[in-house]
Homo-oligomer: A and B are copies of this chain.
């Protein structure tokens, strides 16, 4: 399991993972694939990018900001992107 689960204030929680790529182009290609997944699932990440680094946080706003099955499913899908060209 490569995702970290955190408790946040107000009873909220989230799962997070950081990704490091070779350069911006490779990070951006990854983000474009995640964007397609997120739009398809109608479940969008809270994510940050700086050059070759991407940090993704997932929780479910409609459930009060906690981790739900939607998040675990998207996290699993995201992970398949990394192994697919290993």
Contact = CB atoms under 8 A, between A and B. Distances in A.
B40 A40 contact: yes
Interface of A: 22, 24-26, 28-30, 32-33, 35-40, 44-51, 84-85
Contact of A39 (B30, B40, B84): B40
A28 B33 CA distance: 8
A48 B46 contact: yes
Given A36-B35, A39-B40, A30 B28 contact: no
A48 B51 contact: no
B33 A36 contact: no
A44 B35 contact: no
Contact of A24 (B28, B38, B50, B84): B38
